[in-house]
Amino acid sequence: MYKNYRLEDILTNLMVMGVSPLDVMVTGVTGAGKSTTLNSLFQRKVATVGKGVDPETMTLDSYSLNDSFRFWDTPGLGDGVEEDRIHSKKIIDLLYKDYHKNDTQYGFIDLVLIIIEGSNRDMGTNYKLLNEVIVPNFQKDRILVAVNQADMAMKGRYWNEKENKPKQKLENFLEEQVLSIQRRVEEATGVRIIKPIYYSAEYDYNVDKLFNLLIDNMPTKRRKLKV
């Protein structure tokens, strides 16, 4: 479904930017559902999904949705001090992966998508990821946040299984939650992120809005690296 989703918009944006494909890093804490999200976007299994909170993505893998979008899956933080140090270094190294064009050094990664789990189980680690890993090493206007597992935001209550969407009480809660996350991220990191969207990769709910978030915020220029 998403292979050709808004393809004309994407190609127009890429032409303006002068790159192809657009490289998007997908990151978050362990258990946030990064791999499940990728599988939902691709409408097939491309990334291995961990069970519970066991880390599955220990390396950096890339998946091309089409010739225009390439996603980079990263190991999650929250597995312990030493593991987080190793994983943080891998993420930072990818953020500084570069190429040269016309004697100018550019960053390989064009956007960062940070996935937060709907239950907000480990917001401290999310802030650590943002404040210590992403924000110091990446342009702030290229950072996007999305809340996965919307169906679990109120401990699994108020999800309309028949219609595959939240009941009104849960929808109100989710709207308040994303605004709260926006405020809390700004308080913790000083970065005013674009209002996050909420979705459920497992139930394929609002995944189109997740893709819209990426497409609507595609950069207009290549990402220059500071020297």
Domain boundaries, the chain: 2-216
- pLDDT class of 83 with cuts at 50, 70, 90: very high
The one-letter amino acid code at 145 reads V
Mean pLDDT for 14-20 is 95
Residue type, 85: R
Q: How many percent of the chain have pLDDT more than 90?
A: 69
Give residue 51's pLDDT: 39
- Residue 123 parent element (H or E): helix 123-128
Q: How confident is the model at residue 53 (pLDDT cuts 50, 70, 90)?
A: very low
pTM, two decimal places: 0.90
Whether the per-residue pLDDT at 175 is higher than 90: the answer is yes
HSE on the CB side for 147, CA within 13 Å? Answer: 27
pLDDT at 107 over 60: yes
Q: Which CATH architecture has domain 2-216?
A: 3-Layer(aba) Sandwich (3.40)
- The Cα 163–Cα 161 span in angstroms is 6
Residue 227 pLDDT: 52
Q: Average pLDDT for residues 42-54, to the nearest whole number?
A: 57
Beta-strand pair 165-166/159-160: antiparallel
Tell me, what's the pLDDT at 50? 43
Quote the percentage of the chain above a pLDDT of 70: 92
What pLDDT is attached to residue 42? Answer: 86
